[in-house]
Copies of this chain bind each other. A is one copy, B any other.
Amino acid sequence: IKEAKRGALQQLLDELHPYDFAQIYRGLPEKHHHKFLTFLTPGQIADLIQELEYDVQLEILQQLGIERSSKVMDLMDNDDLADLLNELSVDKIKEFLDVMKKEDSQNIQSLMSYPAETAGGLMTNQFVWIHADQTVRQAVDKLKAYASFSENIYYLYVINHEKKLVGVVSYRDLLIAEIDDKIEDLMFNRVVAVHVDADQEEVARTIERYDFIAVPVVNDDNVLLGIITVDDALDVVIREANEDIEKLSASGKDIDFNTKALTASFRRLPWLILLLFIGLVSGSIISGFEETLDQVVALIFFMPMIAGMTGNTGTQSLAVVVRGIISHHIDRRTVISLVFRELRVGLIIGLTCGLLIMLIAFVWQDNLILGLTVGISLLITLIVGTLAGTVIPLLLYRLGVDPAVASGPLITTINDIFSLMIYFGIATMFLSRLTGL
């Protein structure tokens, strides 16, 4: 009976997509994981493992043991395998590489030598190439021979005898061509390729702009080293968007609905403690103006509004810059025109809000000088806030500092300090008139 059930399960699993596979594995209680794995063929485990997170992957390898793991690894896509191995200790890596097929092991080692966030780190070197003087028939034969080995891609890349990339031909073109046509007559020879050192964002952008299914990766000599498929580009785009949002909110890396409370807290706390100290700077600024405050308590009523508004405009500018840095080439001209644009925006916003608050303050507190003080302060703080939200992230980017430092809360907190200094500074200047009325 157990054999029959096993057969039925096998048949079911055969028809599932790797993603559904992974969903089933995740859904199983932990104690059944080991048993589930014994039901699977190495090929199925290879499919499964590529859909899971690193820690689950490592857990599975542990359970399989070196022998079976190496069989699974032989069947994994090279790019995923290289990423996985990079998570292991040096000893472990060596152990696994030793039991793998020699050719695979060499392939993997060359992939592992590229930094993770570059084209080299994203690419797979399991692809099928062909020479320009071969025929469609030869191409199809080669595809058949490598059917189980090559990743499911949809182009065949054409290289010359120095392994340089000279063209590309789609499976569709092969299908509709005559069997004896020469590849060079079918191929498209203005191939768009990315350099092996290119940043992963640039790779994703290239694939997105040209609506590619895959893009070839070359070195300085235009030698074809690998390919990157659109599904990897899609993952990069999602990851980058999440990183931007982490930047803007300082919410900490990789926190999702399933992260444990303690883990989530520890990822957010470093930022919060830093911001706490910066927040105290605002406090000490106020304490420096204690005398002014003592005389005109009404000044405090407008303090949260001014600080808040300055923070808000700063965040708005920051968001525009953070998104823009991804999709634009940042040169001197771009930066200057952007800063001037934001300066004008700050001026327009400042004038509008400044006039509005001047009227409100005047009517509410029945004090024209107070209205003027608040209005002028808001005008200036909004201009400064907008500029700070623009210039600080650009500056950090220029200096090569991780722009994650310019997070939304940091800009907000810095703008708090600016706004309080400006507000109380102006109030102190007007003080004699303020108390005089």
What are 5 of the A-B contact pairs (CB < 8 Å)?
A237-B241, A261-B342, A269-B348, A276-B309, A280-B305
Q: How distant is A21 from chain B, measured CB to nearest CB, in Å?
A: 11
A283 touches B303 (CB 8 A): yes
Q: Which positions 259-282 of chain A face chain B at CB distance < 8 Å?
A: 259-262, 264-265, 268-269, 271-273, 275-276, 279-280, 282
- A412's partner among B264, B311, B348 (CB-CB below 8 A) is B311
Interface centre among A15, A257, A337, A352 (most CB of B within 10 A): A257
CA A308 to CA B323, docked complex, whole Å: 24
A154 touches B172 (CB 8 A): yes
CA A358 to CA B283, docked complex, whole Å: 15
- A171's partner among B175, B305, B342 (CB-CB below 8 A) is B175
Q: How distant is A298 from chain B, measured CB to nearest CB, in Å?
A: 8
A246 at the A/B interface (Cβ < 8 Å)?
Answer: yes
A1 at the A/B interface (Cβ < 8 Å)?
Answer: no
CA A229 to CA B246, docked complex, whole Å: 29
Contacts of A170 in B (CB 8 A): 152
- What is A's interface to B at a CB cutoff of 8 Å? 15-19, 140, 143-144, 147, 152, 154, 170-172, 174-176, 189-190, 192, 207-211, 213, 229-231, 233-235, 237-238, 241-242, 244-246, 248-252, 255-257, 259-262, 264-265, 268-269, 271-273, 275-276, 279-280, 282-284, 286-287, 290, 293-294, 297-298, 300-309, 311-313, 315-320, 322-324, 327-328, 334, 337-338, 341-342, 344-345, 348-349, 352-353, 356-357, 360, 408-409, 412-413, 416, 420
Known: A171-B154, A348-B265, A408-B408. A301 touches B323 (CB 8 A): no
A175 touches B301 (CB 8 A): no
A312 touches B176 (CB 8 A): no
CA A230 to CA B328, docked complex, whole Å: 23
CA A284 to CA B238, docked complex, whole Å: 43
Contacts of A207 in B (CB 8 A): 234
Contacts of A334 in B (CB 8 A): 257
Q: How distant is A334 from chain B, measured CB to nearest CB, in Å?
A: 6
B349 touches A268 (CB 8 A): yes
Q: How distant is A297 from chain B, measured CB to nearest CB, in Å?
A: 6
B257 touches A319 (CB 8 A): no
- For A409, give the chain B residue with the smallest CB separation: B312
- For A176, give the chain B residue with the smallest CB separation: B144
A213 touches B213 (CB 8 A): yes
A140 touches B249 (CB 8 A): no
B140 touches A412 (CB 8 A): no
Contacts of A208 in B (CB 8 A): 231, 234-235, 238
B175 touches A152 (CB 8 A): no
Q: 19 new A-B pairs (CB below 8 Å) besides A154-B213, A276-B357?
A: A17-B210, A175-B175, A233-B234, A237-B238, A241-B244, A250-B316, A251-B317, A255-B320, A256-B327, A257-B324, A265-B344, A272-B309, A279-B309, A282-B305, A286-B301, A287-B300, A303-B303, A304-B307, A311-B412
Q: How distant is A432 from chain B, measured CB to nearest CB, in Å?
A: 21
B249 touches A318 (CB 8 A): yes
A175 touches B143 (CB 8 A): yes
B356 touches A408 (CB 8 A): no
Q: How distant is A331 from chain B, measured CB to nearest CB, in Å?
A: 11
- For A155, give the chain B residue with the smallest CB separation: B154
- A211's partner among B190, B231, B324, B348 (CB-CB below 8 A) is B231
B245 touches A309 (CB 8 A): no
Contacts of A282 in B (CB 8 A): 304-305, 308
Interface centre among A207, A241, A256, A283 (most CB of B within 10 A): A283
- For A146, give the chain B residue with the smallest CB separation: B176
Contacts of A316 in B (CB 8 A): 249-252, 268, 409
Contacts of A275 in B (CB 8 A): 308-309, 312
